[in-house]
Amino acid sequence: MKIRENVSISTLTTMRLGGEARYVVEIEAPEDVNPAYDLSQEKALPVFVLGGGANTLGRDEGYDGMIFLNKLRGIEAREEGDDLILTGMGGENWDDIVAYACERGYTGIEALSAIPGTLGAAPVQNIGAYGQELADTFVSLQAFDRETETVKEFTREECDFGYRRSIFNTSKRGQYFIMSVTLRLHKGEMTGPLYNSLQTYLDEHAITARDPQTIREAVTAVRAEKLPDPTTTPSAGSFFKNVYLSKGEAEVAAAKGIPVYTNGEENKVNAGWLIEQAGLKGQLLHGIRVNEKAALVLINESASKFADLAAARTEIRQAVLEKFGYDLTQEPVEIV
pLDDT tens, position by position, 236-262: 989 999 999 999 999 999 999 999 988
239 and 176 belong to one structural domain: no
| CA 181/CA 87 separation, integer angstroms | 6
Share of the chain above pLDDT 90, in %: 93
Contacting residues for 271 by C-beta, under 8 A, at least 6 apart: 238, 240, 241, 242, 243, 296, 320, 328
16 catalytically annotated: no
CATH of the domain at 40: 3.30.43.10
Catalytic residue among 113, 166, 238, 317: 238
38 and 104 belong to one structural domain: no
104 and 167 belong to one structural domain: yes
Question: What are residue 39's phi and psi, to 5 degrees?
Answer: -65, -40
263 and 317 belong to one structural domain: yes
Residue 263 has pLDDT above 80, yes or no: no
DSSP string of 290-327, one letter each residue: EPSS-TTEEEESS--SHHHHHHHHHHHHHHHHHHHS--
Q: Is residue 259 part of a domain?
A: yes
Domain end residue (candidates: 50, 70, 90): 70
Q: What is the mean pLDDT of the chain?
A: 96
64 and 92 belong to one structural domain: no
Q: How many domains does the chain have?
A: 3
pLDDT of 109 reads: 98
87 and 125 belong to one structural domain: yes
Catalytic residue among 28, 217, 301, 331: 331
Q: Would you place residue 264 in the very low, low, confident or very high pLDDT band (cuts 50, 70, 90)?
A: confident
94 and 152 belong to one structural domain: yes
pLDDT tens-digit profile of 54-102? 999 999 999 999 999 999 999 999 999 999 999 999 999 999 999 999 9
52 and 92 belong to one structural domain: no
CATH of the domain at 295: 3.90.78.10
Residue 210 has pLDDT above 80, yes or no: yes
164 catalytically annotated: yes
22 catalytically annotated: no
Catalytic residue among 146, 164, 216, 223: 164
pLDDT of 265 reads: 81
**Domain ranges, residue 311:** 235-334
pLDDT tens-digit profile of 17-47? 999 999 999 999 999 999 999 999 999 999 9
Q: Is residue 265 part of a domain?
A: yes
